[in-house]
Amino acid sequence: MKFLLLLILFTTSLAFAQKQNDQLLKVKKADQPLKIDGIANDPCWLTAEWHPLDQLWLGRPYSEEDFSGRFKLAWTHTHLLLLVEIQDDKLFDQHEDPLKLWWDDDCVEVFVDEDNSGGEHQYNHNAFAYHIALDYNVVDMGPDKKGHLYNDHIDVKRSTEGSTTVWEMAITLYADTYKEESKTNKPVALFSGKKIGFALAYCDNDGSKERENFIGSVFVPGEDKNKGWIDANVFGTIELVE
Ligand SMILES: [Ca+2]
Ligand SMILES: [Ca+2]
Ligand SMILES: [Ca+2]
Ligand SMILES: [Ca+2]
């Protein structure tokens, strides 16, 4: 009986949990389309401000040589634009198959909730959690509870010099009505004033069987901080401005 009560309390708290918009970033519009080449000399990157990627979601405290990261955002009417600068002492891609344990290879993870609704998204498209691998494969879990490639959602290139990797991406946004089997999923148009649920993370592995660290861009309250892949309420919010 006690267990049943707890279960009811837990499920209702999930259902009524509201997206908080306290971790808000304003994102400026780019005047020109991006040249996706992993080089940050596009006009929009010269004026956009850096945001830290420094919240430990999983793993042990790390040194600056092991990992540090920061990012910039911009937008056009067709794409959300993202620049990620990562210092990582070893790039590690142990699984050649992009759909095998993709989160245990070095990868950038982009969380996008197009309508900023928040809520549960583990096996649906209320939000996407794109894992972008070193070889540019883009993976998320589909409604069939399996990994799928969404390479046509993100145009990405990286450049690596020493331990610094610059990732440059143009992300196409899709609504929660997205269907894997459909050829006619329509991208969502972006406009000034639009709010989008957003978070960024990096899975750092330098040679272990499983990822060593998982570092995110937003503060997640509570003990379990690895919630982004299930719960879009923990994402930050971005607001598109001119
Ligand atoms: Ca560029
Ligand atoms: Ca590392
Ligand atoms: Ca949503
Ligand atoms: Ca690494």
pLDDT class of 1 with cuts at 50, 70, 90: low
In the block, residue with structure tokens 């969502």: 188
Judged against a pLDDT cut of 80, whether residue 170 lies above it is answered with: yes
- What 8-state DSSP symbol labels residue 14? H
Judged against a pLDDT cut of 80, whether residue 47 lies above it is answered with: yes
The pLDDT of 108-114, averaged and rounded, is 98
Judged against a pLDDT cut of 80, whether residue 86 lies above it is answered with: yes
Give residue 119 CA to ligand 3 midpoint distance, Å: 7
- More confident of the two residues 7 and 28: 28
Give residue 43 CA to ligand 1 midpoint distance, Å: 9
Judged against a pLDDT cut of 50, whether residue 12 lies above it is answered with: no
Q: Which residues surround ligand 3, an ion (CB under 5 A)?
A: 113, 115, 117, 126, 176
Give residue 125 CA to ligand 4 midpoint distance, Å: 29
Give residue 88 CA to ligand 2 midpoint distance, Å: 4
Would you state the pLDDT for residue 21?
82
The pLDDT of 186-191, averaged and rounded, is 98
pLDDT class of 179 with cuts at 50, 70, 90: very high
β-pairing verdict for 24-28 and 236-241? parallel
38 burial level (CB within 10 Å; 0-12, 13-18, 19+): middle
Report the chain's mean pLDDT, rounded to a whole number.
94
- More confident of the two residues 1 and 38: 38
- Show the domains of the chain with their CATH numbers: 33-241 (2.60.40.1190)
Query: Any idea which ligand is nearest the CA of 155?
Result: 1
In the block, residue with structure tokens 């910039």: 72
Would you state the pLDDT for residue 183?
86
